[in-house]
């Protein structure tokens, strides 16, 4: 037997196809429940041959037999097939680790939709029309690590929606219509590391929203219409390393909420509504390395000691703030000991700055200063910028 024949035979044995429970009409007067197995002889090296029936624009077809199986990558690709609904009792071939239904027209997931996904590590249901998810819809996915629900129409989730996903590491719910999330929703996700809630109209958080996510390291709350961050909302997520609060309606830096995040490395506050960054606004955030404060339409002033507690800060991105005209020369000084933040990259592009204080940082040839498109005054007060050897050429856009 040549190698090619061996590979095909191996694939026939490896992929059993999708196992489904369906109803077959009999004599036009009765129905009988049947469990259909895909015969190995019907399987080809590039297709998951199966007998799942579903509806496409009102026409019943065996569409899921078009799902492409890749034995080498151990995945099943059912994306962009025009699927409007899934039948019950879907069972994935043994040994398949990734399944994608991305880009279809699926509207709902019932408790009986999936029967067996015990070997599936990643499940992609993004870019569908899902607006209903039943309780215990994923009980058959005991090994699931990543679940992508992004770009759907989900407005509510039952508290047991993720029951059984005790090993899930990444959950993407971005670009949905979620208004309310009950804390119990995450109670089964004790191993979760990444939670993405971007672009949901949440409007507010409860102090216990994340109480079951003590291993969470990555949290994306961008564009969720938040006006306030509760003081104790991050008490239960002490391992957070990345937090995105961009493009919300915050008028103050949530100092009390952030100060417990000892391991936070990256924080994004861009696109919020602060007018002033007050003294010690980032109190106790000694571990932060990168801070984003771009595109803040109301920001006018940064006060002294504002960034002083971030003693490990390396990058500050504070550009495209068209009203920002004042940065206090002590903004990067720590109040308790007058030490300056050892910044290496400072991005201040397209603000309204006429000058940069000479004592703002301990300038040296390792610091990158980005000042393009500011209305800088070229006078004797700015001579220090010409004399100091910095890595970035800012002079072309000074006046």
Cβ count near 109 (within 10 Å): 22
The predicted model scores a pTM of 0.84
Q: What is the pLDDT along the chain (399 residues), one digit of tens a residue?
A: 443 333 433 333 333 344 333 333 333 333 322 222 222 223 333 334 443 333 344 433 456 778 888 888 889 999 999 999 888 888 888 889 999 999 999 999 999 999 888 999 999 999 999 999 999 999 999 999 999 999 999 999 999 999 999 999 999 999 999 999 988 999 999 999 999 999 999 999 999 999 999 999 999 999 999 999 999 999 999 999 999 999 999 999 999 999 999 999 999 999 999 999 999 999 999 999 999 999 999 999 999 999 999 999 999 999 999 999 999 999 999 999 999 999 999 999 999 999 888 899 988 878 899 999 999 887 666 666 666 655 554 544 444
String of DSSP letters for 91-137: EPPTT--EEE-TTS---EE-TTSEEE-TT--EEE--SS---EE-TTT
User: By the 8 A CB rule, do 85 and 107 touch?
Assistant: yes
Q: How far is it, in rounded angstroms, from Cα 157 to Cα 146?
A: 18
* Cα-based angle 113, 114, 118 (whole degrees, multiple of 5): 175
How far is it, in rounded angstroms, from Cα 72 to Cα 85? 28
| pLDDT value, residue 53 | 35
Predicted local confidence at residue 4, as pLDDT: 39
CA gap 93, 325 in Å, rounded: 62
Maximum distance among all Cα pairs of the chain, rounded to whole angstroms = 97
Three-state DSSP state, 357? coil
């Amino acid at each position: 037997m040549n190698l090619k024949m061996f590979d095909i035979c191996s694939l026939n044995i490896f992929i059993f196809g999708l196992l489904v429970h369906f109803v077959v009409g009999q004599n036009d007067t009765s129905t009988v429940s049947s469990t259909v197995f895909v015969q190995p002889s019907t399987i080809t090296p590039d297709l998951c041959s199966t007998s799942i029936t579903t509806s496409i624009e009102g026409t019943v077809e065996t569409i899921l037999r078009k799902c492409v199986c890749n034995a080498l990558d151990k995945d099943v690709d059912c994306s962009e097939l025009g699927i409007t609904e899934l039948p019950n009792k879907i069972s994935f071939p043994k040994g398949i680790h990734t399944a994608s239904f991305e880009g279809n027209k699926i509207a709902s997931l019932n408790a009986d939709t999936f029967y067996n996904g015990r070997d599936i590590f990643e499940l992609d249901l993004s870019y569908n029309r899902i607006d209903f998810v039943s309780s215990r819809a994923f009980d058959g996915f005991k090994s699931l690590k990543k679940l992508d629900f992004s770009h759907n129409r989900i407005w509510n989730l039952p508290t047991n929606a993720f029951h059984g996903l005790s090993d899930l590491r990444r959950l993407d719910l971005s670009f949905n219509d979620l208004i309310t999330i009950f804390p119990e929703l995450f109670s089964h996700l004790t191993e979760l590391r990444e939670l993405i809630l971007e672009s949901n109209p949440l409007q507010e958080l409860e102090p216990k929203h994340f109480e079951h996510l003590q291993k969470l390291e990555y949290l994306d709350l961008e564009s969720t219409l938040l006006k306030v961050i509760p003081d104790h909302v991050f008490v239960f997520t002490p391992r957070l390393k990345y937090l995105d609060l961009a493009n919300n309606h915050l008028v103050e830096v949530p100092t009390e909420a952030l100060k417990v995040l000892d391991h936070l490395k990256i924080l994004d506050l861009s696109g919020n509504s602060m007018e002033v960054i007050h003294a010690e606004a980032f109190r106790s955030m000694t571990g932060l390395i990168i801070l984003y404060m771009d595109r803040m339409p109301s920001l006018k002033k940064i006060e002294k000691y504002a960034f002083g507690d971030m003693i490990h800060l390396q990058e500050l991105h504070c550009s495209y703030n068209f009203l920002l005209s004042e940065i206090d020369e002590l903004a990067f000084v720590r109040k308790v000991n007058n030490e300056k933040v050892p910044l290496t990259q400072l991005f201040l592009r397209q603000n309204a700055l006429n000058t940069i204080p000479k004592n703002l940082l301990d300038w040296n040839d390792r610091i990158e200063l980005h000042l393009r498109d500011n209305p800088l005054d070229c006078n004797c007060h700015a001579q220090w910028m010409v004399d100091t050897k910095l890595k970035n050429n800012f002079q072309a856009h000074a006046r």
